[in-house]
């Protein structure tokens, strides 16, 4: 462990990255839902630094996921483009507002904590209702398809861009639930693959913006990535054997409890 310290790596953060990476691989839920509150509540990190660091963490890890999904032809690049058309402008505008106010100001700190708490609660709910949403969307409009959903997809991207830029949460669970509703006939693997691919430019741009504003800890980022890459690989392999009927409610409960903690802290 002393050798890791010499390299500027923290064993505690490496283990955190490993655990979060494994859970992301198992459940498909974005790392921000788990990593950001962990950094804030357990390690006592400033919310702005936790969000900024986690955004770059997500950009790197989801790049790996995008490569795998694209190789398996499970990314719909049209949907990715439509989402990005809304999320990237929203991200830039949100970062400008945060920069004007100041990342360490009380207003931004409170805004991040509130947005993080709300996003976590929505993520928890989305895990439970995802299957019902698909069934409802198909009953509501059996012909709901690619062309009629373009405008709404851009709008969803815009809203996700705001939430992710402020809290680093939402690119995974919230984006997936929205795409399931908009494209109920699209295979689940393409929904997940498209959402992961969209998260890469979104989190990268938001992360670079936070780095420019001074709210990224690069040493912490390195430690998290050392743990998360093997963690995601292990989690993805374990997902074949893990019972979804147990994982979803358990993770949903954890996200809900952490979300409530963020709102009342």
pLDDT tens per residue across span 107-130:
877 877 787 788 778 877 877 777
- Burial of residue 239 (CB within 10 Å: 0-12, 13-18, 19+) is middle
**What would the pLDDT profile of 237-253 be if each residue is shown by its tens digit?**
776 566 666 666 777 77
Q: What token pair was written down for 130?
A: 């995802």
Query: Each residue of 11-21: b (16+ CB within 10 Å) or e?
Result: eebbebbbbbb
Where are the chain's structural domains?
9-264
Q: What average pLDDT does range 204-222 have in this prediction?
A: 89
Integer-rounded Cα Rg, in Å, for the chain is 18
> What confidence score (pLDDT) does residue 174 get?
74
189 CB contacts (<8 Å, ≥6 apart)?
69, 72, 74
Which range of 32-41, 179-188, 219-228 scores highest in mean pLDDT? It is: 219-228
Percent of the chain whose pLDDT exceeds 70:
83
Instruction: Tell me how crowded residue 187 is: count the other CB atoms within 10 A of its CB.
Output: 11
Q: 133 or 122, which is more confident?
A: 122
Which pLDDT score, from 0 to 100, does residue 6 have? 45
Sign of the torsion angle spanned by Cα atoms 149, 151, 154, 155 = negative
pLDDT at residue 30, as a whole number: 60
Q: Percent of the chain, pLDDT > 90? A: 11
- Identify the pLDDT of residue 29: 65
Among the listed residues 33, 59, 24, the one whose alpha carbon sits nearest the alpha carbon of residue 203:
59
CA 24 to CA 80: how far, in whole Å? 20
Q: Is residue 8's pLDDT more than 70?
A: no
Structure tokens at 199: 């998260």
Per-residue confidence at 60, pLDDT binned at 50, 70, 90? confident
177 against 39, higher pLDDT: 39
For the beta carbon of residue 90, count every other beta carbon within 10 angstroms. 21
pLDDT number for residue 2: 45
Closest CA to 170 of 83, 229, 69: 83
Q: What is the mean pLDDT of residues 180-199?
A: 79
Instruction: Judge whether 222 and 11 are in contact, CB under 8 Å.
Output: no
Calpha distance 95→203 (Å, rounded): 12
Give the other-Cβ count within 10 Å of 48's Cβ. 23
User: In this predicted model, what pLDDT tens digit does every residue of 82-100 receive, in sequence order?
Assistant: 999 999 999 999 999 888 8
- What average pLDDT does this structure show over 242-265? 73
Question: To the nearest 10°, the Cα dihedral for 245, 247, 252, 257?
Answer: 130
Q: Is the pLDDT of residue 198 over 80?
A: yes
């Amino acid at each position: 462990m002393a050798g890791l310290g010499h390299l500027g790596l923290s064993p505690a953060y490496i283990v955190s990255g490993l655990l979060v990476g494994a859970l992301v691989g198992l459940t498909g839920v974005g790392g921000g839902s788990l990593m950001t509150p962990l950094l804030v509540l357990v390690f006592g990190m400033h919310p702005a630094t936790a969000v900024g660091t986690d955004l770059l963490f997500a950009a790197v890890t989801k790049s790996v996921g995008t490569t795998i999904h694209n190789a398996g032809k499970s990314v719909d690049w049209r949907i990715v483009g439509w989402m990005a058309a809304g999320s990237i402008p929203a991200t830039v505008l949100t970062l400008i507002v945060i920069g004007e106010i100041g990342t360490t100001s009380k207003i931004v700190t409170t805004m991040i904590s509130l947005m993080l708490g709300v996003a976590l609660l929505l993520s928890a709910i989305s895990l439970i209702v995802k299957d019902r949403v698909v069934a409802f969307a198909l009953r509501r409009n059996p012909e709901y398809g690619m062309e009629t959903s373009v405008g709404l997809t851009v709008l969803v991207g815009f809203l996700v861009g705001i939430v992710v830029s402020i809290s680093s949460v939402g690119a995974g669970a919230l984006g997936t639930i929205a795409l399931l509703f908009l494209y109920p006939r699209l295979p689940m693997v393409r929904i997940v693959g498209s959402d992961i691919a969209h998260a890469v430019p979104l989190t990268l741009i938001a992360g670079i913006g936070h780095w420019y504003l001074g709210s990224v800890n690069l040493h912490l980022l390195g430690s998290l990535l050392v743990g998360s890459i093997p963690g995601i690989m292990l989690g993805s392999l374990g997902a074949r054997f893990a019972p979804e009927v147990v994982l979803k409610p358990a993770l949903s409960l954890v996200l809900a409890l952490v979300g409530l903690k963020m709102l009342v802290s």
